Amino acid sequence: MSVEAVRQYLEAYSLGDRVREFALSSATVELAAKAVGVEPKRIAKTLSFQDGPEGCLLLVAAGDAKVDNAKFRHAFGFKARMLSAEEALRLTGHAVGGVCPFALPDNGAVRVYLDLSLRRFDRVYPAAGSANSAVDLTPEELQTASRAAGWVDVCKGWQEEDQA
């Protein structure tokens, strides 16, 4: 998929004009934060996990959150195993660095969930289909546009920071 495919997909939600493209890479949380001009924790990273032999689960979480394996297993009923770059591209249509919860194949093989770590922000910035793009969204807009199955609490690290 391309940035243009994601932009066109987001047009259905009147969000296409929020896609930003950068001259430099935004493929990692740190690079994306620098490109967007925000703290890394506001980057909404999309992590891809195996979900059965021909499916995947996308988890969108805050840039400072880390998957807690026990919470993940409890929420989804299986052990977290990240997809390889080749599997991610084949199953989502997006290459690593640009994997996002938008413009996904409409074959039912991809499920999207949002981690509660994102809800503490008024704006978050997921990738937009390439390793040099992002889209500016509220958590509510992200939920709607990603057609997420729901919010989950499967990450650690961010709660401790918020209580400091």
3-state helix, strand, coil in the chain (%, to 5): 35, 25, 40
Q: ∠ CA(43), CA(124), CA(98), 5° rounding?
A: 50
Domains (ranges, CATH) in the chain?
A: 3-150 (3.90.960.10)
Q: How confident is the model over 88-104, as a mean pLDDT? A: 94
Number of other CB atoms surrounding residue 142 within 10 Å: 23
Residue 126 corresponds to which tokens in the numbers above? Answer: 């997921």
Q: What is the pLDDT of residues 79-90, one digit of tens each?
A: 999 999 999 999
Q: How confident is the model at residue 70 (pLDDT cuts 50, 70, 90)?
A: very high
Q: How confident is the model over 17-28, as a mean pLDDT? A: 95
Cα dihedral value 106, 132, 89, 99, nearest 10: -60
The yes-or-no verdict on residue 160 having pLDDT over 70 is no
Q: Is the pTM of this model over 0.85?
A: yes
Contact (Cβ atoms closer than 8 angstroms) between residue 44 and residue 125: yes
